[in-house]
Amino acid sequence: MLRRVIERLFNSTEVLHDFWKVVLTVEPEGSFNRINQKSRQKETVVDESGSDALRMEFVMGNYFSIGVDARIGRGFDRLRSQSSMVNKLIYLWQGTKNTFRRSIRVDKQIDKMLSGESYSKTVFTTEMGNLSNPVLPRSSALIALNIPSYSAGIDPFARSCRVGLEKLTDAECSELTHFSQKMGDHRLEFLAYRKVYHIAADFCGTSLARRVHASGGPWKIVFKELHPSEKVYFQIDGEFYVMLQPKDVEISHSRTIRILK
């Protein structure tokens, strides 16, 4: 056993790995909640003073997403068991259930996504009547990838060949479709899934993910004014949350480390 570990160390190669700072903010009337890992019950996230947290900060190493995939994962997380077979059945059930539930539309929750040091560039807006900026059409999930792997190990960005924004120029479409993901390049890749079953199709080998954006950021995702009871689901590296009355999400590069692969 020890010999095998030593051999792997000698045969491994050194690669770079980026980490990203993700800060989520809700309005003064808003809140965050999560599933308690011991009780498996919902609990409101509180700050150091014991009040409802209005801001959460994470360091992300793998991926961040908003939308139906996080809702599926949250349902799975709540019912997770010790049996891998049971877990697969639970995940299948959650995916099937969400196919028939009222669809999550992140384009109805997100107002726009900005990038650049002063957030001066509009990556997309969700207003279909906008004539000057790219538009994110109907979408059930928006995902930011830091690694060439997502969820059950699929590589959706490499397999995707479609563009998820409308009103991009031909040059912008070409640049996005020919962009290659690379570890440690200080960049994130953003994807969108139009519908729930498009996520399932990726697991089955048919890529229906759509490329949205790829750059070094930083980014700000600004939310629309939502009904107080409307839930916005998100996940960071497999941790699932809900936020009510969301304000924005800011993502910026944190650091780069060297790891063995």
Query: Looking at the whole model, is its pTM more than 0.85?
Result: yes
Under the phi-then-psi rule, with left for phi > 0, alpha for psi from -120 to 50, and beta for the rest, what region is 152? alpha
Give the H/E segment covering residue 255. Answer: strand 239-260
Domain total of the chain: 1
In the prediction, which pLDDT does 87 show? 44
Quickly list DSSP for 77-115: HHH--S-HHHHHHHHHHHHHHHHHSPPP-HHHHEEEEEE
Positions of the chain with pLDDT under 50: 81, 86-90, 93-94
CA gap 8, 121 in Å, rounded: 45
In the prediction, which pLDDT does 191 show? 95
Give the structural domain span for 254. Answer: 19-260
Peptide bond into 134 cis (omega under 30): no
In the prediction, which pLDDT does 90 show? 46
- Assess contact for 148 and 158: CB atoms under 8 A: yes
| pLDDT, tens only, 86-122 | 444 445 544 555 555 567 899 999 999 999 999 999 9
Least Cα distance to 176 among 187, 159, 192, 162 occurs for 162
Give the H/E segment covering residue 64. Answer: strand 63-67
CA gap 248, 145 in Å, rounded: 19
Q: CATH number of the domain that 161 lies in? A: 2.60.200.40
Quickly list DSSP for 187-201: -EEEEEESSHHHHHH
Residue 25: inside a domain, yes or no?
yes
In the prediction, which pLDDT does 29 show? 97
Residue 6: inside a domain, yes or no?
no
In the prediction, which pLDDT does 53 show? 98
Residue 178: inside a domain, yes or no?
yes
Residue 96: inside a domain, yes or no?
yes
The Cα-based distances of 47 to 190, 219, 229 in angstroms read: 30, 25, 21
Residue 1: inside a domain, yes or no?
no
CA gap 115, 124 in Å, rounded: 10
In the prediction, which pLDDT does 77 show? 57
Q: Mapping DSSP to helix (H, G, I), strand (E, B) and coil, where does residue 65 land?
A: strand
